[in-house]
Amino acid sequence: MQIIKTGLLYLLITAFSVSVWSCAVTAKTIPKPESFSLPDTFTAVIGRTIGAETAAVKGSDGKWHVVYELMLTNAKQVPASIESIQVLDAGDISNVLLTISADELVAGAVELSGRSRLEPDNATLAGDSQLLPNESLVVFIELEFDNKIDVVDTIVHRFIGQAATNPGSSEPAPVNYLMVPWDITIRTAALIEPPLKGDGWVVINGCCSAWGAHRASIQTVSGELQNSQRFAIDWMRIGSNGRFFHDDPADVTNWYNYGAAVYAVADATVVAVLDELDDQSPGTLPDPATITIQTVDGNHVILDLGGGVYAFYAHLKRGSVRVDVGDTVKAGQQLGELGNSGNTSGPHLHLHLMTRPSALAANSIPYRIWGAEIVGKVDAEQWGNASNAIDDVWEVHPVSGTTSDVPTLPMDLSVIDF
């Protein structure tokens, strides 16, 4: 939700496709593939995905993306070490979709606190792929597929390394076993209409960037690990000057996106509204002591799109919200105006889709947007090397061959005309 840039490495792969969550929005359930049965095996290192389900989604890069997190926990008193994690096609476990090496795990995994082993304050285990007793790591995984037909129904993970081999083990020994089978084609990505109108909209912190704040936004909410922002986008607007503002950026009204109309992405029912918080001063995040779980998202609207799909709009301008709880809205109906309220360092619309009417205590849902024409892309190297979104004049590379007639999930740093 914030637009201060953060860095986090994650893991990438190749291949995929999906089910429906559709236009008005109809959530289509695909017949469940036959479950994969694991053999009974003693497993000192256990795993789980964060979120009960996902779906492949076609990105504006033409690839089908499957994005998720795998949490690994050493549940025994014997230290474990990870040599590699493999993602396999459960229908043919000889088909290795991805192999994550120990070095890649060190770079692409975080502790539950969000701390990476590459950070200076984590020198004890820096560069170490150990899992100490009772320790957990979260591995960020992305699968890419060239075509929808390539997507497998179910994946399963193979753990290779050293760990306790029985309940009485006092020393680690080599292990190699399967864990965490997961059906990934039960649903499809939601199909929605544009949340904004006009030209020059930039995808910030979008899929599937290692630099974005959303990819790693795992929170402990309501007694569970949640990632409601996995596919979130912070929408900002770039001007002809290559900046997100003109004149003094400290004046929120000088930002090109400020006050832009925000629209319903589908026919829906309004289930939550907040419209009483003032804008923050652009340039820095507010004092954390002033932010609560109720105000972190600023002024906001949550829509029930049907089929267990909800849309969340955050950081709206105070006094601009035009709907109340219980209202029904049509796709394209104005909900409010883009602002800078809540935990934000600059005006933007934060939008994500989720499984519950809670901005944080929900699982993130992938989606595709009708009418989004990709016209350019902000230079990724320049963005990655910058410390904030204010100082630079951003270089935009033209993109050709895209069309608004094919709905996709816009990839990170894409420049879009609606």
In a domain, 6, yes or no: no
Please give the structure tokens belonging to residue 406: 């094919």
In a domain, 29, yes or no: no
Please give the structure tokens belonging to residue 184: 């990934």
- The structure's pTM equals 0.88
User: Would you say 23 and 189 are in contact if contact means Cβ atoms under 8 Å apart?
Assistant: no
Return the C-alpha torsion angle 403, 407, 411, 414, nearest 10.
40
Same domain, 196 and 302: yes
Same domain, 132 and 219: no
Burial class (CB in 10 A: 0-12, 13-18, 19+), 33: middle
**CATH for 122:** 2.60.40
In a domain, 1, yes or no: no
Q: What pLDDT, in 10s, does the model give residues 262-309?
A: 999 999 999 999 999 999 999 888 888 888 988 999 999 999 999 999
**CATH for 227:** 2.70.70.10
Q: Is the pLDDT of residue 403 over 90?
A: no
Q: What pLDDT, in 10s, does the model give residues 350-400?
A: 999 999 999 999 999 999 999 999 999 999 999 988 888 888 999 999 987
Same domain, 176 and 241: no
Please give the structure tokens belonging to residue 110: 């975080």
User: Would you say 118 and 126 are in contact if contact means Cβ atoms under 8 Å apart?
Assistant: yes
Same domain, 310 and 351: yes
- What band does 72 get if pLDDT is binned at 50, 70 and 90? very high
The residue range of the domain holding 309 is: 190-417
Please state the separation of Cα 268 from the chain's center in Å.
23
Q: What pLDDT, in 10s, does the model give residues 164-191?
A: 999 999 999 999 999 999 998 877 899 9
Q: Between these two residues, 12 and 274, which has the higher pLDDT value?
A: 274
Nearest CA to 414 out of 274, 168, 236, 287 is that of 236
- What band does 14 get if pLDDT is binned at 50, 70 and 90? very low
Q: Is the pLDDT of residue 28 over 60?
A: no
Same domain, 248 and 351: yes
Handedness of CA 332, 337, 340, 346 (dihedral sign): positive
In a domain, 5, yes or no: no
Is omega for the bond preceding 208 within 30 degrees of 0, making it cis? yes
Boundary (domain end) residue, out of 137, 157, 188: 188
Residue 316 has a CB neighbour count (10 Å cut-off) of 29
User: Would you say 221 and 360 are in contact if contact means Cβ atoms under 8 Å apart?
Assistant: yes
Please give the structure tokens belonging to residue 198: 């006009």
User: Would you say 369 and 385 are in contact if contact means Cβ atoms under 8 Å apart?
Assistant: no
3-class SS of residue 105: helix
Looking at residue 104, its pLDDT comes to 85
Same domain, 295 and 370: yes
Same domain, 114 and 247: no
Boundary (domain end) residue, out of 188, 223, 249: 188
- Domains contained in the chain, number: 2
Same domain, 242 and 323: yes
Please give the structure tokens belonging to residue 329: 């809205």
Same domain, 169 and 212: no
Please give the structure tokens belonging to residue 117: 């082993």
Same domain, 198 and 184: no
What does residue 80 show for φ and ψ, rounded to 5 degrees? -120, 160
The most confident of the ranges 205-209, 223-227, 267-271 is 267-271
Mean pLDDT computed over 331-345? 97
In a domain, 27, yes or no: no
In a domain, 174, yes or no: yes
Mean pLDDT computed over 313-318? 98
Same domain, 365 and 269: yes
Name the amino acid, one letter, at 387.
S
Nearest CA to 65 out of 411, 385, 340 is that of 411
CA distances from 355 to 48, 328, 362 (A): 18, 19, 6
Give me the residues paired with residue 204 across strands.
Answer: 234
Handedness of CA 352, 62, 384, 340 (dihedral sign): negative
Please give the structure tokens belonging to residue 59: 């990105």
- The mean of the pLDDT values for the chain is 87
User: Would you say 216 and 137 are in contact if contact means Cβ atoms under 8 Å apart?
Assistant: no
In a domain, 38, yes or no: yes
In a domain, 2, yes or no: no
- Beta strand residue intervals within 187-293, DSSP E: 188-192, 201-204, 219-221, 224-226, 233-237, 261-263, 268-274
Mean pLDDT computed over 47-75? 93
Same domain, 358 and 250: yes
User: Would you say 354 and 362 are in contact if contact means Cβ atoms under 8 Å apart?
Assistant: yes
Burial class (CB in 10 A: 0-12, 13-18, 19+), 128: middle
Looking at residue 168, its pLDDT comes to 94
Residues 6+ apart with CB under 8 A from 407: 58, 191, 368, 369, 370, 372
Boundary (domain end) residue, out of 145, 168, 188: 188
- What band does 89 get if pLDDT is binned at 50, 70 and 90? very high
- What band does 127 get if pLDDT is binned at 50, 70 and 90? low
Task: Report d(CA 368, CA 120) in Å as an integer.
Answer: 38
User: 232: which DSSP letter?
Assistant: -
